[in-house]
A and B are shown apart, each in its own frame.
Chain A
Amino acid sequence: MDNACESPTEKGGETRESDEPTAAPGGSRVTEMDGIPEETDGDGDGELKEAAAEEGELKSQDIADLTAVEREDSLLTPAAKKLKIDTKEKKEKKQKVDEDEIQKMQILVSSFSEEQLNRYEMYRRSAFPKAAIKRLIQSITGTSVSQNVVIAMSGISKVFVGEVVEEALDVCEKWGEMPPLQPKHMREAVRRLKSKGQIPNSKHKKIIFF
């Protein structure tokens, strides 16, 4: 019994430390595990006895033999255990998918021509100047804004520019003309995006029922 009492706090410390290096994907998992040690600590022996009984033949000595994560797993109810394994699998699959994607990107970029490399470099490196964006937002709000807001807004604006330019290139190709893009392509692109609802406009009051 003593072992079972001590292990939750130990485990809590261990598992929390091991999770810190992983970034956001691990975030949800950390909170899950943070909750569990607290629970078992608060409820004391009664909860632990129940959990141990549910798991079946697991004795306190066996618990001491297992690794930190396994120890915790053995104290979870079967439903919670399944949920945890599901999220663990999903996280592993996601990491593997990321690695695959990184590899594929590397192969692709290595086979670019010089012009393509130039364009790709411009695509990655171009960005709006943070100072100008900050000044613009602050002139609209009248109060100061945090750095994260400026980062988010510049990022979204770049995606917005990308959407408009891509649509304009589609229009240009459809009309059988060549880049560079002309204002008429841009205007047609904006008109199309507006009908898709990609251009925010809160000035025009929409009448739902005529």
Chain B
Amino acid sequence: MTQEKQKDPTFEEESEEIGGGAEGGQGKRKRLFSKELRCMMYGFGDDQNPYTESVDILEALVIAFITEMTHKAMSTGRQARVQVEDIVFLIRKDPRKFARVKDLLTMNEELKRARKAFDEANYGS
């Protein structure tokens, strides 16, 4: 079973992180997102108590995803830097992610403006 896992290219990232290759432990990396991922999985339709192994797999996937995107962003546009424009460019083909990023950035701008206006109003009075 361990061999299968390591041969599978999909989980190359996982087995590289493991280092030891033991099936039980995922190795030295500390779990970064365990709590948040559990809530997220429940929100997206899983059981209220998802299996720990599934959460671990998802965490490895997310870390691999972020790593991949970061590397791609570093080679796009301005080199060795990660900028929002690069992320938006990389995501352009995926409609869901693209729309989400646009919404988030728009909302952030609105919030910043609202906070600034609020602070100025307070300062004035």
Residues on A facing B (Cβ under 8 Å): 23-24, 119-129, 132-133, 136-137, 140-143, 145-146, 148-149, 151-153, 155-166, 168-169, 179-183, 185-187, 190-191, 194, 198-204
Some 16 contacts from A to B, beta carbons below 8 A apart, are: A24-B102, A119-B45, A125-B39, A126-B39, A128-B33, A137-B70, A141-B70, A146-B83, A152-B88, A153-B70, A160-B62, A160-B97, A169-B45, A181-B47, A182-B53, A201-B68
In whole Å, how far is A192's beta carbon from the nearest beta carbon of chain B?
A: 11
Number of residues in B with C-beta < 8 Å to the partner?
57
* Interface SS majority for chain B: helix
B residues within 8 A CB of A181? Answer: 41, 46-47, 50-51, 54
**CB atoms of A156 and B91 under 8 A apart:** yes
Chain A residues with CB under 8 A of B105: 148, 151-152
Which of these, B9, B12, B61, B82, contacts A164 with CB under 8 Å?
B61
Q: Are A132 and B33 in contact (CB under 8 A)?
A: yes
Cross-chain contact of B10 among A159, A168, A194 (Cβ < 8 A): A194
Residue of B nearest to A141 (CB): B82
Q: Is B45 a contact partner of A145 (Cβ separation < 8 A)?
A: no
Q: Are B58 and A164 in contact (CB under 8 A)?
A: yes
What separation, in Å, do the CA atoms of A24 and B99 have in the docked complex? 13
Task: Specify which chain A residues have a CB less than 8 angstroms from the CB of B37 in the assembled complex.
Answer: 161
Which residues of the partner chain B approach A161 to less than 8 Å between Cβ atoms?
37, 40-41, 44, 58, 62
A168 shortest CB reach to chain B, Å:
8
Which single residue of chain B is at the shortest CB-CB distance from A165? B44
| Alpha-carbon gap, A43 to B38, bound state (A) | 63
Contact of A119 with B51 in the complex, beta carbons under 8 Å:
no
Contact with B71, one of A128, A140, A151, A155 (Cβ below 8 angstroms): A140
A181-B50, A186-B58 given; A151·B109 CB < 8 A: no
**Inter-chain contacts of B74 with A (CB < 8 A):** 141
